Every structure is written in structure tokens, then in C-alpha cells.
Structure 1
Amino acid sequence: MGDITGPVGAPGFGAKGHMRALMVLGLPLIGSNLAQNLIQFVDVLMLGWYDVTALAAVSIATPYWFTLFLLGAGFAWAVAPLVAAAVEAGDGVAARRITRMGLWLSVAAGCIFVPAFWWSAPVLLWLGQTEEIAGLAQDYLRIAGWGLFPALFAITLRSFLSALELAGIILWVSLAAAVLNVGLNWVLIFGNLGFPEMGIEGAALASVSLHVASGLGLAVYAAKRCAEYDLFTRFWRFDGQIAAQVAKLGLPMGITTVAETLLFSASAVMMGWIGEVWLAAHGIALQLASLTFMVHLGLSQAVTVRAGRAYGRRDEAGLRLGGLVALALSGAMVALTMALFLGVPGALMSVFVDPADPLRDAIIAAGVTLLAIAALFQLVDAAQVMTIGLLRGVQDTTVPLVIAIVSYWVLGIPASWLLAFPAGMGAPGIWLGMVVGLGAAAVALSVRFWWGTGRLGTVL
């Protein structure tokens, strides 16, 4: 329970000021998110050129790696609202301590998860993969798993810099990583420039190198641009009190994100029960929805920092006005997305389907149906991620975790199954079920934030 009563609007922004601040911070974060998506796209594309079996293995290994990464990343994400509040309160020492403990906890998470990468084949076999695919995926993960340390290190520094509203460097590092990824994959996967042909292991090594380069780039920038914080001086000193604070905020953030990710994983599994055409259409439609979602995710990350600053200066009026402006910006993007998904769905789908594919017409027709539902899907998905960003800014993550689990797993997944199979709606029913889950989360999280910030000047 945090009291934010104080001088109304101090130091205060008008709506235009909030919009300008959100755009300055949000646009680089949106761009960096899109660059990260591009990296994943290139990995899939280049391994597809190399070998279909390797592509299948990395398609299984990547979600495995990413799930564990998300669990550990909660500690890194917690740094942003905590540092933002500390800086706004004029406590630079607390900002340093928070960031250091975010780095400590990220390293600890990596140590816990490394065995899960090293002995991943038995898990993948249990999940129904063939021995060949599970073995190749394990070969990939035994190398890529070491990239978890620099990846979490980089995310923690990204959160620190975002909290200081120094997001430009994050965009440039992400773009540089996307370019570097193409070159490293070309050299290490295919064995160019005198290097041995390493295939899927080359892709893993390229991934680790990318995370190391990104982490080092952000570390050098943070050390020079933010020298007054002395982030890396006496880094070995552990701060139990601050570590507990970061863990308390960050662990629910990681689990919440994994809960949502698994909602989409479950939808893909159910889509596979229906058939190849619908599964292909689902993958394309979800890729399009994910691409536009990067805008809302970037805005959500920005609004976490802005809300954290309002929380730090005890500015309830600024917190609520900033939240309204952020939702309006997100809503404008939703309107544009809905117009595209409803206006030219066939054109969007056709970009992803080989003209020579005999199933092309069927996949496009199925995708047009799913994109019509995706228009509604975008509305609730954007609303829930934006409100999560606001709640994280005021350091409220435990109740949102409960809301997420109930919405996604108690309501969303059962609704998808009931609508798709007993109700006979098939694939559209799966997407409508996801709308139910995300919509329930959006409503509950909105009530949590707006009701909480309106009660006698207190924040939840």
C-alpha cells in the first residue's frame, strides 16, 4: 500500500507534455522490440535455408529457451519502476543498489536454469518430440543456454536506462544486434569466410555472441553516460534488503508474462488438433498480431517508467492523466490495426504464403477469418498490456499475477476448448477463447488500477 497524496500535479505535465514524454521514451523501445522480432525472424529464415530438420529443432528449442528467459527477466523488468521512483525521489544511491541487485538476481536465475538447458532432451521427449529433433534441440540449447546470462544482464541495463529515459541507446544497440545477427548466422551456420560449417550449433553460438555484444554495449554506455551512479563499483557487495524488494516485485512479473505466453502456446496445440491449414493460418495471423503488438508493448514499457516517476514524486493527478494519454495512444494504434485487419486481410496473409503452395487459397481464406477476430483480439490485448504497465509503475505486481492466471488459464484456455470443440466453432472458437481470457484480464486489471488510484489518493 503506497500513499501518493501530495501537491496535485506537482511538478505536473499537461496532456501534451505526457504525450511528448511517452513518445520520446516509447518510440525507441518500440523500435528495439521490432528489432528483436527481426532477429528471431532471421534465425528461422536462415536455418530454413540450411536444413528443414534444424529448423524444426530450433522451432522447439527457441520457445523452451524463451520461457526460462521470461521467468528470469522479471527481476530485470522490476528495475525500471523501482529506479524510476528512486530517481524521481532524488535517491541516486537507491537507484544504484536496485540495479546492482537486479543484475545479481539475473545471474542467480541463469545459474538455476543452466541445468534445464543442458539436460533438455528428456523434457522435449516427454513433450512428444522425436529423438532426432530432441537431440538437435539439446545441442542448440547447451550452447544457447549460456546466452541467458548476458541476455538478462542486458535487459537489466535496458531497464535502468529506460528508467532514466535514455532509451535512444537501446534502439541503436538493438538495431546493431539485428545487423550483426545476419552476418554471424551467415558465417557460423553455413561456414563462410573460412569458418567451419556449424549448422544449428552455429546459430546458437551466434545467439550467445549477440547477447554478449548487446550487454557489453549497454554496460559501456551506462558506465560512461551515467557515471554518477557508479553501477559497477564494488559490484560484488550483496544487498539483501534491496534484493528482496526487487525479487518481490520481479518474480510475479516474470510468472505473469509466462502465463500469457503459455496461453498462446496452448492455442497453437489446440489448433494443431484441427488441421494443417488452420495451424498455418494461425501461425501467420499470430505473427501479424505480434508485430503490431510490439507497439503496445513498447508503450507499456514507457508508461511503466512514467508511472514510476509519478509514483516517486507522489503525483496522483499526473499518474492518472499519464495513464489516460497512454491508453489513448495505444487506442489510436488499435484503430489503425483494426482497419488493416478488416480492410485488407487477404493481402496481408498472401505475403506469407508461397504462391506455388497448393494449400495457398485455403490458408488465406482461413487467415482472413482469424484476422477478423484478431481485430477484436488486438483491442483487449492492448488494453491488458497497457494496464499491466501502469500497475508495474506503481509497484503492484502480485494481484495482477493472480488476475493473469485466472484470466488466461481458468477462463481463456477452457473457453477456447469449449468454443472450438463442444460448441463446434473450430479454429475461430480458439481465437474467441483467447479474446475471452485477454478481455477478462483487461477489465480486471483496469478496475484494479483506476479504482485503486481514485481511493483517497492511495495506490493499491
Structure 2
Amino acid sequence: MKISNYTKEFKYNWQLAAPVMLGMLGHTFVSFVDNIMVGQLGTAQLAAVSLGNSFMFIAMSLGIGFSTAITPLIAEADGEQNFINGKSSFKHGLFLCTVLGILLFLLVFFAKPVMYLMKQPLDVVELAIPYLDLVAVSLIPLIVFQAFKQFSDGLSMTKYPMYATILANIINVILNYAFIFGKLGMPEMGIVGAAYGTLISRVVMVAHIWYLLSNNDKSKNYVTKIKFFILDKLMLKKIIDLGMPSAMQMFFEVAIFTAAIWLSGLLGKNPQAANQIALNLSSMTFMVATGLSVAAMVRVGNQKGLKKYLELRRIAHSIFFLGIILATVFAILFLVFHTQLPKLYLDHNDVENAIDNREVMQIASKLLLVAAVFQISDSIQVLVLGALRGLQDVKVPMVLVFISYWVVGFPISWFLGKNEAFASMGVWFGLLAGLTVAAILLYIRFHFLTKKLILSNN
């Protein structure tokens, strides 16, 4: 097949994915801004935000992963032009995401004492706890927002979540500046101020996306006049059956990166702060792949609804191809600028912490070399996961993801991530191994399923 059969899809794939990328980057940008502003306070404060967010990342992975069940159901209903199924999928998805957001908030709030059992630096733990008290509440609006976002993506209306996220980011930057440093007439709160900024901006984000969707002709009948507590057990079961394996897929991946934060904490506050810098930078490039993953989910879901399986496979491969090109560009950027990028996060004029800052930047620059190598495998695994979700295939991928990260990746991080081995670099060698195995296994699964669908349709 000619390469033009794939490249001709690039423009539409990009148009669909770009708003999702910007929206996902917006979520990461909240963390990016928090890290840069908090980094000016010192390495202990940066490590505390890293530790607090490690709990948040786990909870967010479950909530965001679960919400992805909504997108393929909406995309398939949209392809079939079945409004009743579409509205039912959204309503039940919104209900479940709201319940899950409350449960995740309670889980994180009451899990704080675990920090003392994790052998993390004590000064870091004592800074992290008040930060986590507030930022945990923001899980509720965040997961509710995800329900609206995944619904909007499923209708191929990917710009609205982007608009809401951009507004939230502007508010977050202003509030962070005011609350962290005591500007604009506000009290100086340090890292607790960053938590206030995150919470308020996420509430605004939910309100804004509902306003946008309720004023659009295509979506307003879906998001208004919702009988929230009149529920269909079969639809609840369908979303839970799709959502729970998707949540576990994302949990297994995020959990290994969270384990990297904890393993880095065992090495000290400076390795932990360096890990946070490298993780934040690599997560920003990952959000680009995640945007394309949503495009894969939507377009594969549409073609599944139309039963056009050859087209489904061609379109999916065109998205994989575009993703690999972009990942290669990011890999080159990380390699070229691996020493410069960590400098964004720390105060060069801080004489008191100069030695710590220098060590953090040295470690982070080495970790970015490993991050450069795994850009391609990280991109492939998330793109193929998106395509498999579009096929509503979630249970087998969940098992494959677990094997990749926890049977292969984590043991390598554990054994190589000790001071007497490769320290922080060893932790990231495990991440590289897990992502690479996941990319290979998930693609094999996609290849098998699509071939089977094509043969069964002939």
C-alpha cells in the first residue's frame, strides 16, 4: 500500500487531535506552572509537590482511565446516528464519574499517613500533607470534567475541552502567583497556595465546558434536561465493564511512574526533585501522543459503527505513523537540550541552595537522555491503546499493560535504582523497558484483532 494512503489522513487526524493535545497539555501545564513557581521556593518544596502529586497521579489515572469508556460509546452512537444511546451513555458516564470523583477524593484524603511509612524525607512529607489536603478536593471537579471531555471528544467536538482547559490554566497561573508568593493583595501561602490555585481553576473548568456544550446545537440536548438519578442497570454495567479495565490500564502505567517518584525519594530529596523535573517534561510530550490516542479512539469507534474494518485499520495505522514522526522530533529535542531544560525549574540566584540545585540539574539532565530514548515506545503504546479502546477491547490490553510495567519494568527499576547500582538512571531504565514491551505486545494485539474483523467481514 502506498505511503500516501496514510499521509493523506494526517491533516484530519491532526485537526481532530490538536485540540485534545492542547487540552491534555493544559492539565500538564497546571503541574508545570506549579513546579516552576514552587521550585523558586527550594528543592524541599519541589520534592513535596512531587510527593503529593504522586498520590494525585494514581487517583487521576483511575478517574481519567475510567472516563475513557464514554468516548467509544459516543463515537459509535454518533456513527450510527443514534441519539438515544448517545445520551444514555453520557448520562450514565457522568453519574459514574461523579461518584468515582468523590470516592477518589476520600481515598487520597485518608491515605496521607502512608507517607510516613514510605521512608521519604521527613521535611518533604510535612510540607506535602497540607498541600495534599486541598489538592485532593480538586479530584471531584477534575473527574466530572473528564466525563464532559470524553463525551465532547466522542462527538468529534474536541475544541471545547481545549477552551475550558486554557481558561483554567490562565486562572491557575494568576492564582498561583498571588497565593504562592503573596502578590495582588493575597497572603503568602507557599505550596498550599498552589493547591488553592489548582482547586479553583478546576471548578471553573467544569462550569465553562458545561456552558459551551449547553449552547451548541449538536450537544445541548445531550447535556441538558438530564434525569441524573433515573438509571438503567444495563447501561451502568456496560460502562463499568468498559471503564474499569481502561482505568486499570492507565493505573498500571501511572503507578510505575509514581513508583519512580517513590524510589527516587529513597535516594534523597535531590534525586526526587530531579525525577519530578524529568517526569514533568516527558509527560508534556506524552500528552501530544495522548491527543492522537483520542483521535484513534474516535475514528476507530466511528469505523466500527460503520463496520468498515479495512478503513478502520488504514486510519489507525496513519495515526500510528504520525505519532512516531512526532515522537522522533521530541526525542531529538530532549537529546539536544537535555542540559538546558532542567534549568527552567530552579532559581539560579539562590545562593543558599546552589549546591542542591546544581545536583538536581545534573541528575535531571541524565534522566532526559533516557526519556529521549523511550519517546517512540511511549507514543506507540498509548496510540495503540486508543485504537483498542475504539474497538471496545479493554480486558486483554489491561493484562498486557500489567505484564509490561509490573512484571518487566518495575523489577528493573527496583534492582537498578539503588545507589550502589545506577541510582536515578536505573529507575528510568525500568520505565524504558516497560514502555517498550507494552508497545510491542499491544501492537500485536491490535494486528490480531483487526485482521480477524476483516476476515470475518469477507
Match of 1:395, SS state, is coil
Deviation string, structure 1 residues 194-242 (Cα, Å, up to 9, x no partner): 5555555443333222111111111111112112335443233212111
Structure 1 residues not aligned, in runs of 5+: 1-12
Tell whether 2:206 aligns with 1:209. no
Q: Are the counterparts in 1 of residues 43 and 357 from structure 2 also a CA contact under 8 Å? A: no
Tell whether 2:377 aligns with 1:380. yes
Determine the structure 2 residue equivalent to 1:414: 411
Determine the structure 2 residue equivalent to 1:285: 278
AA in 2 matched with 1:161: S
Determine the structure 1 residue equivalent to 2:73: 82
Deviation at 1:182, TM superposition (A): 1.7
- State how 1:418-429 maps to structure 2 within 5 Å: 418-419=415-416, 424-429=421-426
Match of 1:39, SS state, is helix
Question: 2:441 is matched with which residue: 438, 444, 456?
Answer: 444
Tell whether 2:429 aligns with 1:432. yes
Of stretches 388-397 and 289-298 in structure 1, the one that deviates more from structure 2 is 289-298
Deviation at 1:92, TM superposition (A): 1.1
Determine the structure 1 residue equivalent to 2:396: 399
Of stretches 223-232 and 404-413 in structure 1, the one that deviates more from structure 2 is 223-232
Question: 2:256 is matched with which residue: 240, 253, 263?
Answer: 263
RMSD over aligned Cα atoms: 3.0
Closer/same/farther in 2, CA of residues 182 and 287 from structure 1, 3 Å limit: closer
CA distance in 2, matches of 1:27, 1:304: 14
Determine the structure 2 residue equivalent to 1:223: 214
Deviation string, structure 1 residues 169-214 (Cα, Å, up to 9, x no partner): 2222211111111222334445555555555544333322211111
Deviation at 1:141, TM superposition (A): 3.5
Question: 1:93 is matched with which residue: 84, 87, 90?
Answer: 84
Closer/same/farther in 2, CA of residues 283 and 310 from structure 1, 3 Å limit: same
CA distance in 1, matches of 2:330, 2:192: 38
Q: Are the counterparts in 2 of residues 50 and 190 from structure 1 also a CA contact under 8 Å? A: no
Determine the structure 1 residue equivalent to 2:106: 115
Deviation at 1:100, TM superposition (A): 0.8
Deviation at 1:334, TM superposition (A): 2.0
Deviation string, structure 1 residues 97-152 (Cα, Å, up to 9, x no partner): 11111111112112323333443432222334577765654434443333222211
Closer/same/farther in 2, CA of residues 199 and 175 from structure 1, 3 Å limit: same
Match of 1:293, SS state, is helix
Determine the structure 1 residue equivalent to 2:325: 332
Determine the structure 1 residue equivalent to 2:163: 172
Aligned residues: 447
Q: Are the counterparts in 1 of residues 31 and 280 from structure 2 also a CA contact under 8 Å? A: no
Match of 1:297, SS state, is helix
CA distance in 2, matches of 1:434, 1:373: 9
CA distance in 2, matches of 1:340, 1:325: 23
Closer/same/farther in 2, CA of residues 139 and 366 from structure 1, 3 Å limit: closer
Question: 2:307 is matched with which residue: 302, 310, 314?
Answer: 314
Determine the structure 1 residue equivalent to 2:141: 150
Closer/same/farther in 2, CA of residues 370 and 125 from structure 1, 3 Å limit: closer
Q: Are the counterparts in 1 of residues 327 and 376 from structure 2 also a CA contact under 8 Å? A: yes
Q: Are the counterparts in 1 of residues 36 and 344 from structure 2 also a CA contact under 8 Å? A: no
Determine the structure 1 residue equivalent to 2:245: 252
Match of 1:146, SS state, is coil
Closer/same/farther in 2, CA of residues 370 and 74 from structure 1, 3 Å limit: closer
Match of 2:113, SS state, is helix
TM-score by length of 2: 0.87
Structure 2 residues not aligned, in runs of 5+: none
Tell whether 2:229 aligns with 1:233. no
Match of 1:346, SS state, is coil
CA distance in 2, matches of 1:126, 1:68: 19
CA distance in 2, matches of 1:353, 1:203: 16
CA distance in 1, matches of 2:422, 2:120: 29
Of stretches 307-316 and 44-53 in structure 1, the one that deviates more from structure 2 is 44-53
Deviation at 1:58, TM superposition (A): 3.5
Closer/same/farther in 2, CA of residues 280 and 197 from structure 1, 3 Å limit: closer
Deviation at 1:314, TM superposition (A): 1.1
Deviation string, structure 1 residues 262-313 (Cα, Å, up to 9, x no partner): 2122233434555676555544433332222221111112211111111111
Determine the structure 2 residue equivalent to 1:390: 387
Closer/same/farther in 2, CA of residues 406 and 222 from structure 1, 3 Å limit: same
Closer/same/farther in 2, CA of residues 415 and 164 from structure 1, 3 Å limit: same
Q: Are the counterparts in 2 of residues 121 and 134 from structure 1 also a CA contact under 8 Å? A: no
Match of 2:68, SS state, is helix
Deviation at 1:60, TM superposition (A): 2.5
Q: Are the counterparts in 1 of residues 34 and 176 from structure 2 also a CA contact under 8 Å? A: yes
AA in 2 matched with 1:451: F
Closer/same/farther in 2, CA of residues 344 and 143 from structure 1, 3 Å limit: closer
Deviation at 1:164, TM superposition (A): 1.1
Match of 1:183, SS state, is helix
Closer/same/farther in 2, CA of residues 281 and 110 from structure 1, 3 Å limit: closer
Of stretches 352-361 and 110-119 in structure 1, the one that deviates more from structure 2 is 352-361
Match of 2:50, SS state, is helix
